[in-house]
A and B are shown apart, each in its own frame.
Chain A
Amino acid sequence: MADRNKQELHSAAGIDRRGLLKCLTWAGTGVVWSLSGGVPRTIGLIGSAAAAATAPSELTFVQISDNHIGFHLPPNPDPTATLGEAIAKIKAMPAQPAFIVHTGDISHLSKPEQWDTAEQVIKGANKQVFYIPGEHDVADAGNGKAYLERFGKNTQGKGWYSFDMAGVHFMALINVFDFQPGFKSAGLAKLGDDQLEWLEKDVAGRSSSTPIVVLAHLPLWTIYEQWGWGTADAGQALGYLKRFGSVTVLNGHIHQIIQKVEGNVTFHTADSTAFPQPAPGTAPAPGPMKQVQAGDLRKYLGIRTVDYVRSKGAPALTDNSLAG
């Protein structure tokens, strides 16, 4: 795609939400900033994205996240419409993705009608969709029962599963059930022992050259502990994946793109299709950025395309905002 040629490894954008991130202490080497300026943001990365642009991809898929159907307040009273725009973007892709991965918060309040609406819109892309829940999807009175009954078929434990596509091994992890009690810590998410045990077994027999994609709603590294943006036992999971040559972690939850590289593991949070949230620590609370004007909203929303070229091992990621 032409967009990939616009890749920027460091944002030259002025003072914006993402620019502010540069001030934060965890912004060590290896973090790759996205460009935010109203044009489609592109983050080519990991391996040679330029090479990927000229070679046919062996696997292309799309990540969408945080639709929050049911949200009804500023800055986006109609997240169904913006989800529709995201799906229209997918349909218009010249190289059609093989499938869609959804990294959670399909609904805002775990209501069946909100999932109905989301699925109805997403169905428009005519693709297989691999879902995981966000914490907003397991917020029913039954502690996630409604989500698991609807989306949890053929999954393990509290909804985790794995699958293989074009030689890439995908692991859909769940870190929205088992929070560390907020009294002992800042309240980070947990994968939990059962899931970690499953994960270890799931990858045990696999060749280290198998590219791995990990899906999880909350980030698998601690982005901002004060807001609970992290997973307490992620280190153990990543330990089991250490030997693999290419591990790509795709998260949602924080409604903005933050990326990090650690050895063979690359971490990427994704934009929402509903509303942006503030950069870590730049607001008193992580709620929706309600001050965003209607005309600017779509610059903060987006979808992500992931392209694998087998010879390169690691994928090229392209983030496109809904404004483009």
Chain B
Amino acid sequence: MRYIDTVRPNRRWAGLTLGGLGLAGLLAAVIPAIGPNTAAAVAAAAHTATIQIDNFAFTPQNLTVTAGTVVMWKNADDSPHRIADVNGAYNSSALDTEDSYSHTFATPGVYKYICSIHPYMKGEITVKPAAAGS
């Protein structure tokens, strides 16, 4: 299993994410000229999902994504939270209000996580294989 982690202690990552989306958008615009296989690969690579943290809860609590999706947790709460995989596969540092953390889920499976500061906060991410042809 390979994980690509990006911890964002400040706001720099937001710019990178937007930049990434901008690139994806640009590629999407030229995709018809490249062909369907390339298009699917680009779409999978650029796939992102966001989990909001507010009021000591993750929304959505259960998220299903395809392999390769970058999941970003965004802390909109007035308390800090910290994302931690229950098996220790990845964890963020403490996320202050408005901070976020991203993790790429490369391998299909079911991943449970908690907030290690408030461990009764829990969530689950189901990673499905990427669509055939990607």
Contacts and interface: CB of A to CB of B under 8 A. Distances in A.
Interface string A283-318: 011111010000000000000000000000000000
B116 interface: yes
Interface string A89-108: 00000000000000000001
A227 B115 CA distance: 12
A188 to B, nearest CB: 8
A183 B86 contact: yes
Interface string A171-200: 000000001111100111100000000000
B93 interface: yes
B94 interface: yes
A110 B120 contact: no
B79 A288 contact: yes
Contact of B55 (A143, A180, A284): A284
Contacts of B93: 109-110, 139-141
B120 to A, nearest CB: 4
B117 interface: yes
B94 A140 contact: yes
A141 B116 contact: no
A182 B114 contact: yes
Interface centre among B94, B97, B112 (most CB of A within 10 A): B94
Interface centre among A110, A189, A285 (most CB of B within 10 A): A285
B7 to A, nearest CB: 6
A51 B112 CA distance: 55
Given A110-B94, A139-B94, A187-B119, A181 B86 contact: yes
Classify chain B's interface size: 20 to 34
A143 B122 contact: no
Interface string A149-191: 0000000000000000000000000000001111100111100
A202 B114 CA distance: 33
A139 B78 contact: no
Contact of A73 (B91, B97, B117): B97
Contacts of B92: 141
B99 to A, nearest CB: 9
B103 interface: no
Given A140-B94, A141-B7, A180 B82 contact: no
A319 interface: no
A256 to B, nearest CB: 16
Contacts of B7: 141
A296 to B, nearest CB: 18
Given A73-B97, A285-B55, 13 more contacts: A108-B94, A108-B96, A109-B93, A109-B94, A136-B94, A140-B94, A179-B114, A179-B116, A183-B114, A186-B120, A187-B119, A227-B120, A287-B55
Interface of A: 70, 73-74, 108-110, 135-136, 139-141, 143, 179-183, 186-189, 226-228, 284-288, 290
